[in-house]
């Protein structure tokens, strides 16, 4: 019998206590499977990660890393980005897609970093989300990976796996972030995001999850009830 995927509008009921217990049990398993879990984006400082994360919207991390390998040699400081010609930035990042909006965001962010923060990327959610083109997901990536602060970044993989595992019924990234914050130990917030992303890329794929080779399938209603995922 073919499986019927749960759409983003499908209502899912979640028991918070059961979800928290499920997290407690799957965390050590995922940690063993992915012992080196971390962001795939390459960066040397908070500014580079912020720019790389902006570029990653609707683009693969592999492509972003190919682009940033070159642009980070050309634009070495926040001042370089801020004073660069917009068309030149567009040309340099074109292959990441949506390059016009991304170029505007990057130039705008770097200008504000200089004018409002003395050239240093701020390390709080409230300040980061004030930048053009920066939402909570981007801010969480930067906070968790560049500053080492607990932060849950909810991308498409985190949303998909959280719903399949019944950790949350929300498909909205912000609402899901707050749901997960209540059931995942704070010290594991950043790592948990990476673990779900890796598992989503390698095993629990969107169209054809490899449930037979999934080591957390026994905790997954979607794996045990085919009509649910």
The secondary structure of 111-127 as a DSSP string is: HHHHHHHTTS---SHHH
- The pair of structure tokens assigned to 81 is 């980005």
Q: Which residues of 62-72 are buried (b: 16+ CB within 10 A; e: fewer)?
A: eebbebbeebb
- Dihedral angle sign, alpha carbons of residues 20, 24, 30, 35: positive
DSSP state of 6: P
- The pair of structure tokens assigned to 114 is 């200089």
Note if 15 is an active site residue. no
CA 140 – CA 176 distance, rounded (Å): 13
Active site residue: 61, 155, 188, 217, which one? 155
SS3 56: coil
- The pair of structure tokens assigned to 69 is 């390998």
- Give the contacts of 170 (CB within 8 A, at least 6 positions apart): 162, 163, 176, 179
Active site residue: 22, 102, 107, 137, which one? 137
CA 62 – CA 56 distance, rounded (Å): 9
52 touches 90 (CB < 8 A): no
Note if 155 is an active site residue. yes
CA 153 – CA 223 distance, rounded (Å): 24
* Catalytic residue list: 137, 155
């Amino acid at each position: 019998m073919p499986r019927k995927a749960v759409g983003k509008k499908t209502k899912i009921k979640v028991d918070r206590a059961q979800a928290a217990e499920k997290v407690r049990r799957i965390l050590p398993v995922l940690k063993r499977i992915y012992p080196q879990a971390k962001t795939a984006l390459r960066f040397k400082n908070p500014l580079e990660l912020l720019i790389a994360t902006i570029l990653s919207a609707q683009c693969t991390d592999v492509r972003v890393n190919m682009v940033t390998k070159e642009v980070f040699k050309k634009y070495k400081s926040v001042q370089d980005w801020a004073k660069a010609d917009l068309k030149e930035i567009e040309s340099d990042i074109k292959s990441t897609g949506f390059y016009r909006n991304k170029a505007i965001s990057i130039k705008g962010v770097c200008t504000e970093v200089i004018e409002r923060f003395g050239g240093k990327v701020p390390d709080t959610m409230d300040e980061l989300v004030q930048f053009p083109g920066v939402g909570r997901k981007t801010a969480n990536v930067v906070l968790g990976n560049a500053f080492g602060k607990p932060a849950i970044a909810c991308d498409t993989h985190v949303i998909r796996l959280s719903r399949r595992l019944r950790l949350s019924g929300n498909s909205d990234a912000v609402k899901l972030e707050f749901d997960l914050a209540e059931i995942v130990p704070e010290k594991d917030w950043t790592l948990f995001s990476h673990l779900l992303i890796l598992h989503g890329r390698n095993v629990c794929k969107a169209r054809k999850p490899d449930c037979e080779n999934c080591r957390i399938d026994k905790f997954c209603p979607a794996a045990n009830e085919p009509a649910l995922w």
